[in-house]
Structure formats: C-alpha cells, structure tokens
Amino acid sequence: DAGVTQSPTHLIKTRGQHVTLRCSPISGHKSVSWYQQVLGQGPQFIFQYYEKEERGRGNFPDRFSARQFPNYSSELNVNALLLGDSALYLCASSPMDSSQPQHFGDGTRLSIL
Amino acid sequence: AQSVTQLGSHVSVSEGALVLLRCNYSSSVPPYLFWYVQYPNQGLQLLLKYTTGATLVKGINGFEAEFKKSETSFHLTKPSAHMSDAAEYFCAVTHSGGYQKVTFGIGTKLQVIP
C-alpha cells in the first residue's frame, strides 16, 4: 500500500509570495495533520483535519490555512511568505483514534529567498 | 497541556554499546507516548508506542522503551548500537481525546562511532 505522499518535494519562493502544499493520506485514513519542522527542531503542530473539518490548530498566524477534500487529501496554504517560513513541512495521516500512531510523508522542503 | 523534554540534543555511542535516549513528558491526562526516528531528508518513522497496558514496549530494529509514570519518563534503549542507527530520534506525546495534537521534543541526534 502507498504511504503518505506529499508534493512537491522541494520548493523555492520569495518573500511575500504564497504557496500551496499537497498531501495524500494512506488509504482508509480520515485524519490528516500538518507540521512545520525548522532545521534543528522537532515538528511543530499546525493543523489537524478530520472528515473535512478543522479539529485542531497550533500556534501559527492566520497566514497559514488548510483544507481537506472529500477523498481525505489535504492542502496547506501559506500567504505572504516570510524568511522564517523556511522549513520542512510534514503531513501525517492516521485513523481518528489518537492511540494509533501517525504515519508521516517525506515532507516538502520550502526555502524562502 | 502537554510537553516533552529530551535531554541531550546530541548523543555519541560506540558501535556495539548501549543506546540510551532520554525523554520526560508532562501531561495533565494519561499520555500516549511515541518514539520516532528521522533519517536525513526523510519523514518520521514510528519506532514504538505506549498507550495502555504493559509499560515495557518493544519496537522495530531492537529498540524498546519503558513507561515510568512515577518518573514521567519514557526513555528509549537498545542493547547494542549499529552504524545504521545513526539518525535523529524524537519523543512525542498525545492523549485520548477529540483530536490528535501531537507534541514533539526537540530531538536527539545519535552518532554511532565505529
């Protein structure tokens, strides 16, 4: 079975631009979460979606938004990019039960120039 | 509220030596605890998890961890390090509830010396 897939794998943007990152969960997983991992740090929780509804949000500005589609895939959007947004963005999918571990994609490496 | 503290951002061990990576957690409710490994330019891979039941949990690649409620700890161990164990390791906490906000530690980079 295919794992969590993310696209693109790498992206270079300039300050002020916007970006859309995409994630396809493991088949049968209805929950998708997004994390930001800055170099040298652990992943920081951004959003969790379940059944197309936002179920949790981390401490990120409104420039960050996301949505989940009927096929459970998800997009993360970031507007007005700042240099500090440079990071690895990870998507994770899981069944809703939080006792089940999340399965991570390989991430999108976003570089802001 | 929940948090994770990983003691030691870098740990070096000789090949064949014991691996011990420390993790302490804080949670206002019974926690679910996880260890993940991350190789360069990859996502996170689950090593093991604790939810309920047996406090000593075994994972992949010979790793195990013990949940100690009295010490709020969930340290990761492996009896004998292999070169292939060199990676970054993350401890994470969540809990039973309406959604799955997982809080990660800052990570411990493990170096294995031949």
Summarised one tens digit per residue, pLDDT across range B49-60 is: 998 889 999 999
Does A2 score more than 70 pLDDT?
yes
Instruction: Give the model's pLDDT for residue B96.
Output: 74
Question: For the segment A65-109, what is each residue's pLDDT rounded down to a tens digit?
Answer: 999 999 999 999 999 999 999 999 999 998 876 667 889 999 999
| Residue contact A48–B45, C-beta within 8 A | no
| Residue contact A44–B104, C-beta within 8 A | yes
Question: For the segment A5-63, what is each residue's pLDDT rounded down to a tens digit?
Answer: 999 999 999 999 999 999 999 998 999 999 999 988 899 999 999 888 998 899 999 99
**Closest CB from B49, B97, B104 relative to A101:** B49
Q: Does A49 touch chain B (CB under 8 A)?
A: no
Contact residues on chain B for A60, CB-CB shorter than 8 A: none
User: What does the angle CA A58 – CA A59 – CA A64 come to, to the nearest 5 degrees?
Assistant: 80
Interface test with A, best of B44, B50, B90, B94 (most A CBs within 10 A): B44
Instruction: Give the model's pLDDT for residue B99.
Output: 63
Q: Does B24 touch chain A (CB under 8 A)?
A: no
| Residue contact B43–A4, C-beta within 8 A | yes
Q: Does B101 touch chain A (CB under 8 A)?
A: yes
Contact residues on chain B for A45, CB-CB shorter than 8 A: 101-103
Residues of chain B with pLDDT under 70: 97-100
DSSP helix/strand/coil, B68 = strand
- Please, which residues have CB within 8 angstroms of residue A37's CB and are 6 or more apart in sequence? A43, A44, A87, A88, A89, A90, A107
Instruction: Give the model's pLDDT for residue B88.
Output: 96
The Cα-based distances of B42 to A4, A44, A82, A111, B38 in angstroms read 12, 16, 24, 16, 6
- Report the candidate in A11, A15, A58, A39 with the shortest Cα–Cα distance to residue B100: A58
DSSP helix/strand/coil, B60 = helix
| Residue contact A42–B90, C-beta within 8 A | yes
**Closest CB from B96, B99, B107 relative to A42:** B107
DSSP helix/strand/coil, B61 = helix
- Please, which residues have CB within 8 angstroms of residue B73's CB and are 6 or more apart in sequence? B22, B23, B24, B25, B66, B67
Instruction: Give the model's pLDDT for residue B28.
Output: 84
